[in-house]
Amino acid sequence: MNKVVYWIIWGFAAISVNVFVIPFATVTTEDSLLPVLLIILLCNLITVQLFVAALRENTQRFIIGIVIASVLVLSLFFVFQKIMIQLAIILLIISLLAGAILFIVEVFSKAWQNN
């Protein structure tokens, strides 16, 4: 894939995730700033993973990250629209866990390959 295509897709994914995550984090938490930042950070692990995969030009992990980010955005959209809330929350949890796992694999894959 062309580097420009990586960055265009990454930018679109980052904007899409944050359009839903920032309002979700501010609405669901009380007046404390720490939970808001933790929710935003957790949901943006997938955008960081996409960034690292784009830097390394790892097409397979980039595509998997796009799928996970799409499920995350779709589940947050369903929560906001109050459509299939239980399914949306299950998909949200699954996408957050999958994004965290993929982030760990992406960041530490070079270290694991060297050993």
88-115 confidence digits (pLDDT tens)? 999 999 999 999 999 999 888 877 776 5
CA distance 52 to 49: 5
pTM: 0.86
C-beta of residue 52 within 8 angstroms of C-beta of residue 107: yes
CA distance 11 to 54: 11
Task: Give the sign of the dihedral formed by CA 115, CA 106, CA 48, CA 85.
Answer: negative
Predicted confidence (pLDDT) per residue in 45-68, tens digit: 999 999 999 998 889 999 999 999
CA distance 2 to 83: 37
CA distance 11 to 4: 11
